[in-house]
Amino acid sequence: MGECIFCKIVNGEIPAAKVYEDELIVAFLDIGPINYGHVLVIPKEHHQSVSTVPENVAGRMLKVASRIGIVLKRREEYDAYNLHLADGTAAGQVVMHAHMHVVPRGVEDNFRWNWRQLNYADGQAAAMAAEIAGKIAAALEEK
Ligand code: AMP
Ligand code: ZN
């Protein structure tokens, strides 16, 4: 993955403000933070999608991301944190190396997720839940 910018950070080829590293993952400051202290947690191994990241690595990403969230939350200016992961271009993924955002949040940080809420028609939610539920077991077997 010669051109991947996050692989270059893992390999030390370009600098990053690292906050955590172990044998599986690296965490560093996002270069364009939503709030100061915004961190990215990435697997050392290159995966475009989080869906192919091995379970132990994905588990470590979540554990470390949530603990970084706690550390950030303890700062005076923050009260909470969001974990965010964009998987695919339509979802907003720009860097094609899976990464989890840890975004520290303050009550008065003046940032709003642009989150909408549609309504289901009668029966639509049940049909959709049944369709998805019927496909998950097979998807769990995929590499
Ligand atoms: P996403 O839209 O989820 O793919 O987010 C990619 C994130 O990577 C953005 O928030 C960028 O600010 C961040 N980013 C891109 N290049 C670097 C870099 N060299 N060091 C740190 N963060 C970066
Ligand atoms: Zn990569």
Per-residue pLDDT tens for 73-110?
999 999 999 999 999 999 999 999 999 999 999 999 99
> What are the tens digits of pLDDT across the range 120-136?
999 999 999 999 999 99
The per-residue pLDDT for 33 is 98
Query: How confident is residue 2, by pLDDT bands cut at 50, 70 and 90?
Result: confident
Q: Which of 31, 38, 83, 93 to mutate to test the pocket of ligand 1 (most atoms within 8 A of CB)?
A: 31
Q: Phi-psi bin for 23: left (phi > 0), alpha (psi -120 to 50), beta?
A: alpha
The pair of three-digit structure tokens given for residue 121, joined into one six-digit string? 């028609």
Binding site membership of 16 for ligand 1 (Cβ less than 6 Å) = yes
The per-residue pLDDT for 127 is 98
Longest dimension (CA), the chain: 55
Res. 113: pLDDT tops 90: no
Percentage of the chain beyond pLDDT 70 is 99
Percentage of the chain beyond pLDDT 90 is 96
For residue 46, the SS3 value is coil
| Residue in 103, 12, 100 with CA at minimum distance from that of residue 63 | 100
pTM: 0.96
For residue 38, which atom of ligand 1 is closest to its CA?
10
The per-residue pLDDT for 1 is 59
Q: Which of 10, 29, 85, 95 to mutate to test the pocket of ligand 1 (most atoms within 8 A of CB)?
A: 95
Distance 112 CA to ligand 1 centre (A): 19
